[in-house]
Amino acid sequence: MTVKGDKKTKIIKTINIDVDKCNGCRACEVICSSVHAAPKFSSNNPARSRIRIIRDPFRDIYVPVLAGEYTVAECAGRDKYVIDGKEYDECSFCRASCPSREEFKEPDSGLPLKCDMCEGEEGGPMCVKWCLVEALVYEEREVEVEEEDRPEDLEIGLESLVNRYGLQSLIDSVSRMANK
Ligand code: SF4
Ligand code: SF4
């Protein structure tokens, strides 16, 4: 967060996704898993990627989805969407690491994965750089904010992870992240 005069601002980072341009090549999954491997670039495994392509080649459906928040509970119902004559499940657009799907879970530990916008990576988000058809476009904008981030939000999130995976698993994961 930045303070300008009496106004607080922060940068909102967005990856705009054009579903019509995505051809399902999965280069974004490869580079994301590779850049987040420990050590960096030591392996690539799309199952560890923080972007996944929801694919249905027979219906020409490729939907890039970036990993968002972890959730303890799955939804009670599902909606269907029809866009340009193609039918999509609600889950196709969902960013959650959720008990009812395989995406966005670290395959060995089962811990949730979340896109970090390649924080600290020179040149910005790697999935955007590797998408040759510009299905992914990065955008930054500065917005005014009213409130500081609340530490209690972090505590609620950590508590739910401890309940789900146990304290030791969480400590191991944080220590792996710190060593990257
Ligand atoms: S790199 Fe681009 S075109 Fe390829 S799967 Fe990812 S978003 Fe789609
Ligand atoms: S911005 Fe970085 S962390 Fe997020 S999905 Fe793309 S490559 Fe992965």
In a domain, 48, yes or no: yes
pLDDT at 39: 94
In a domain, 158, yes or no: no
Residues 124 and 171: their CA atoms lie apart, in Å, by 28
Q: Is the CB of 26 under 6 A from ligand 1?
A: yes
Name 3's bridge partners: 8
- CA angle, 134 as apex, 133 and 139 as ends, to 5°? 170
In a domain, 35, yes or no: yes
Segments of the chain scoring below 50 in pLDDT = none
pLDDT at 125: 97
In a domain, 56, yes or no: yes
Ligand nearest to the CA of 113: 2
In a domain, 52, yes or no: yes
In a domain, 67, yes or no: yes
Q: What is the number of structural domains in the chain?
A: 1
Residues 119 and 24: their CA atoms lie apart, in Å, by 25
Name 14's bridge partners: 139
Q: Is the CB of 25 under 6 A from ligand 1?
A: yes
In a domain, 45, yes or no: yes
| CA 32 to ligand 2 centroid distance, Å | 5
| CA 15 to ligand 2 centroid distance, Å | 9
Q: Provide residues with CB under 6 Å of ligand 2.
A: 32, 50-51, 66, 115-118, 125-127
Q: Is the CB of 24 under 6 A from ligand 1?
A: yes
The domain in which residue 93 lies consists of 2-150
Q: What is the DSSP string of 93-157?
A: G---B-TT-STTB-TTT--B----TTTT-TTS-HHHHH-TT-SEEEEEEEEEESSPPPHHHHHHH
| CA 148 to ligand 1 centroid distance, Å | 35
In a domain, 16, yes or no: yes
Q: Which of 33, 54, 136 to mutate to test the pocket of ligand 1 (most atoms within 8 A of CB)?
A: 136
